Amino acid sequence: MRYRILVTGGAGFIGSAVIRYLTNETDHEVLNIDKLTYAGNLESLLEVSANPRYTFIQADICDAEAMKQAFGEFKPTHVMHLAAESHVDRSIDGPLEFVNTNVMGTTVLLEAARAYYASLSEDAQEVFRFHHISTDEVYGDLEGPEDLFTETTPYAPSSPYSASKAASDHMVRAWYRTFGLPVVITNCSNNYGPYHFPEKLIPLVILNALEGKPLPIYGKGDQVRDWLYVEDHARALVKVATEGVLGETYNIGGHNEKQNIDVVKKICSLLDELVGYKPNSIEKFEDLITFVTDRPGHDQRYAIDATKMSNELNWQPQETFESGIRKTVEWYLANQGWCQNVQDGSYQRERLGGSQDSQGGEA
């Protein structure tokens, strides 16, 4: 069956991966709704932009009239809601924007979906799904070294970002319980891979290293994160949107727990292998590592138990961290034009980018 899937935040990192997957690997129709703020880039969707099954409109999820119009004209069978402010440091500097987009924006979208759902026939209502994409950061900090986040782990967010995502999760569950809107929720671990905005840890390290700039590491770099290759995540999200059980939550993780310092050192070793020069006369890229003051409220460890995804939806990540990080470094080395356009801001000046996108984690 061909679905009509409305994706919010589809010009962002995870959203663009979802749209590339939907367009290249399925026959579904896709509407990408994106506000085009700083962190998305329509250049990430150039390979699918001419596909007749793909449509883009620039709109803000906080704009109730625009959302009503989008639902009415596109008539989606599924909504995949990824639009969100997602960077922890930015949420500390300016939390109100995160509350507005992540909480109010989600609520506006839920109301648009509820009105649209009420207008559908019974057969169409049977198909319709609202899939809310969230983060493992809503669970806060794990205590023991063997503990894992499960779908029933109590929420204990630490930052304005994670608190705003927790609030949006609660809104989605309330619209399911109170209004009967058919929803599913996913909470994911840290994503990485191609087209990642350079403020995040992995692309920042790669691009800083190539320019001989310091590689900043918070504290001792001993914070542990579970790393999920973005294309594995995209496959999982589509599976949940189309096959997930109504009202259920699914945790999506990469089974790749790493300390931040080890992630950075691995990137440096790959660059030593793949790059034929060393900037600033350094002997190896690891020499650029610089430890900086830790951020306020920095969680020590996240780790996902993705057993439910495996058992109920038959999903497992295809990439190990070793294979995924090599693909990621190689992609950045081969796509310096995309990187340059983001770094110098030309992707925005040419009206080719800048979105919101729910990330799995802050690094």
Model confidence pLDDT, tens digit, residues 290-310: 999 887 878 788 889 999 999
Model confidence pLDDT, tens digit, residues 166-200: 999 999 999 999 999 999 999 999 999 999 988 78
Average pLDDT of the chain is: 92
**Do the beta carbons of residue 173 and residue 138 sit within 8 Å?**
no
Known catalytic membership, residue 137: yes
Sheet holding 4-8, edge to edge: 54-58, 29-34, 4-8, 78-81, 129-135, 183-188, 249-252
Catalytic residue among 34, 43, 136, 319: 136
Model confidence pLDDT, tens digit, residues 336-359: 999 888 888 888 775 443 334 444
Angle at CA of residue 285, ends 274 and 330, nearest 5°:
30
Percent of the chain with pLDDT over 90: 80
Q: Does the structure show a pLDDT above 60 at 52?
A: yes
Q: What was the pLDDT predicted at 350?
A: 57
For residue 10, which amino acid is it? Answer: G
- For the entire predicted model, the pTM comes to 0.93
Q: Residue ranges of the alpha helices (H) in 49-200? A: 64-74, 88-93, 95-98, 106-118, 122-127, 160-179
Q: Does the structure show a pLDDT above 70 at 260?
A: yes
CA 129 to chain centre: 19
Q: What was the pLDDT predicted at 363?
A: 43
Percent of the chain with pLDDT over 70: 96
Catalytic residue among 29, 43, 85, 137: 137
Cα–Cα distance, 24 to 38 (Å, whole number): 26
Least confident of 5-19, 99-113, 137-151, 237-251: 137-151
* CATH architecture for segment(s) 4-261+291-349: 3-Layer(aba) Sandwich (3.40)
Catalytic residue among 161, 192, 302, 332: 161
The structural domains of the chain, with segments of one domain joined by +, span: 4-261+291-349
Q: Which residue has the higher pLDDT, 277 or 130?
A: 130
Cα–Cα distance, 10 to 34 (Å, whole number): 6
Q: What was the pLDDT predicted at 359?
A: 44
Q: Does the structure show a pLDDT above 50 at 139?
A: yes
Known catalytic membership, residue 136: yes
